[in-house]
């Protein structure tokens, strides 16, 4: 497995269940030993040189099992001791307050973790990862259990971490829309191997040999639809009421050509846009290429 990640990137680590995402993360964190090969983090073996390797690397686990008998403040205090954060009690309290505020659970600071909801626990898990000054955030399914507002807030937090603080985010996720909207690049793993890696748009183009255009207009005639179909790169049109899903071979942008046809036909054009969530299509396609019999995520 060979994966190079530049500083300041937000990388989506994708793959089906059992593909090796979490194993890979646990290898990086020195929680498990590699059966073959070597792992180096910051140039150090994460097991024998655990402290050096993981200095400035923070981790938020999938479905975190936090110490339910502690309060968020107590857990973060323990983490701050582990990290060797500000030796003064005031400095530590300030840092705890900062991260709790950052993830939006300051008001639950002194409630037992056992009493927190799943979403709150997820927020706390990210809070403990944000303690101190991490340079790399490794997040295993960080959006699980979050409500839409929480997801949006976390996207902002991670974006800011990468863009303003120059941090690197490496996150595994099954929520493709989240990954597509947040990540600057993705890596698709399957069977312990990296299938594709690169900028989101590059991976999509590498995997998919088509793009999708959504057209919404009133007064579209069969004749106009026929003319759109005649455009060389258009391979398929799926009508749906007043809108069309147009499958375009390759990645040429045919929107000006199509809108020109629609306007000239006298139909009212409301919108024309490239389809979003192409990452999900690319992801499914990438996996089906590896294993033609299996097309589901």
Please choose, out of 22-30, 97-105, 144-152, 179-187, the segment that lies near another protein by the rule CB under 8 A: 22-30
Of residues 113 and 269, the one with the C-beta less far from another protein: 113
* Number of residues in contact with another protein under rule CB under 8 A: 33
Task: Confirm or reject binding of residue 151 to another protein (CB under 8 A).
Answer: no
Name which position in 55, 153, 155, 251 contacts another protein (CB under 8 A): 55
* Both structure tokens of 89: 């009690």
Task: Confirm or reject binding of residue 115 to another protein (CB under 8 A).
Answer: no
List C-alpha distances in Å: 191 to 17, 267, 290: 10, 50, 10
Task: Confirm or reject binding of residue 152 to another protein (CB under 8 A).
Answer: no
Task: Confirm or reject binding of residue 70 to another protein (CB under 8 A).
Answer: yes
Name which position in 24, 54, 121, 278 contacts another protein (CB under 8 A): 54
Query: How far apart are CB 119 and another protein at their closest, in Å?
Result: 18
Of residues 50 and 174, the one with the C-beta less far from another protein: 50
Task: Confirm or reject binding of residue 1 to another protein (CB under 8 A).
Answer: no
How many residues make up the chain in this entry?
297
239 CB-side CA count, 13 A: 13
DSSP sequence for 204-247: HHHH-SEEEEEEEEES--HHHHHHHHHSTTEEEEEEETTEEEEE
Task: Confirm or reject binding of residue 85 to another protein (CB under 8 A).
Answer: yes
Task: Confirm or reject binding of residue 276 to another protein (CB under 8 A).
Answer: no
Q: d(Cα 17, Cα 189) in Å, to the nearest integer?
A: 10
Helix residue spans in the chain (DSSP H): 21-28, 50-54, 72-83, 89-103, 118-130, 148-163, 176-182, 200-207, 222-230, 255-264, 278-290
Please choose, out of 56-64, 183-191, 223-231, 288-296, the segment that lies near another protein by the rule CB under 8 A: 56-64
Please choose, out of 78-86, 167-175, 195-203, 277-285, the segment that lies near another protein by the rule CB under 8 A: 78-86
Task: Confirm or reject binding of residue 192 to another protein (CB under 8 A).
Answer: no
How far does CA 189 lie from the centroid of its chain?
14
Of residues 41 and 217, the one with the C-beta less far from another protein: 41
List C-alpha distances in Å: 29 to 16, 64, 153, 156, 292: 21, 15, 26, 25, 33
* Both structure tokens of 197: 């890696």
Query: How far apart are CB 168 and another protein at their closest, in Å?
Result: 16
Name which position in 10, 14, 53, 228 contacts another protein (CB under 8 A): 53
List C-alpha distances in Å: 47 to 27, 29, 52, 58: 9, 8, 10, 15
Q: d(Cα 217, Cα 244) in Å, to the nearest integer?
A: 8
Task: Confirm or reject binding of residue 144 to another protein (CB under 8 A).
Answer: no
φ, ψ dihedrals at 248, nearest 5°: -115, 125
Task: Confirm or reject binding of residue 220 to another protein (CB under 8 A).
Answer: no
Name which position in 5, 66, 109, 275 contacts another protein (CB under 8 A): 66
* Both structure tokens of 28: 């990086």
Q: Interface residues with another protein (CB under 8 A)? A: 26, 29-33, 50-55, 57, 59, 61, 64-70, 74, 78-79, 81-85, 87, 125, 128
């Amino acid at each position: 497995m060979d994966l190079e990640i530049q500083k300041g990137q937000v990388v989506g680590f994708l793959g089906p269940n059992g593909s090796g995402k979490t194993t890979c993360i646990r290898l990086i964190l020195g929680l498990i030993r590699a059966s073959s090969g070597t792992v180096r983090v910051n140039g150090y073996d994460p097991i024998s040189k655990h402290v050096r390797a993981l200095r400035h690397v923070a981790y938020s686990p999938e479905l975190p099992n936090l110490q339910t008998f502690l309060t968020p403040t107590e857990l973060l205090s323990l983490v701050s001791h582990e990290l060797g954060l500000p030796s003064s009690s005031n400095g530590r309290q300030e840092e705890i307050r900062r991260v709790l505020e950052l993830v939006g659970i300051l008001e639950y600071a002194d409630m037992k973790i056992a009493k927190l909801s799943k979403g709150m626990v997820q927020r706390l898990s990210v809070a403990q990862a944000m303690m101190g000054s991490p340079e790399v955030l490794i997040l295993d399914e960080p959006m699980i259990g979050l409500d839409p507002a929480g997801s949006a807030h976390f996207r902002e937090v991670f974006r800011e971490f990468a863009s303003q603080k120059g941090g690197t985010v490496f996150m595994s996720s099954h929520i493709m829309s989240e990954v597509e909207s947040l990540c600057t690049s993705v890596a698709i793993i399957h069977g312990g191997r990296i299938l594709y890696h690169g900028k989101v748009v590059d991976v999509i183009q590498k995997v998919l040999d088509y793009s999708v255009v959504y057209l919404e207009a009133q007064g579209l005639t069969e004749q106009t639809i026929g003319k759109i179909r005649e455009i060389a790169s258009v391979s398929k049109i799926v009508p749906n009421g007043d809108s069309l899903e147009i499958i375009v071979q390759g990645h040429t942008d045919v929107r000006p050509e199509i809108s020109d046809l629609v306007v000239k036909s006298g139909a009212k054009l409301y919108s024309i846009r490239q389809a979003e969530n192409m990452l999900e299509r690319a992801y499914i396609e990438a996996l089906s290429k590896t294993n033609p019999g299996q097309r589901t995520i």
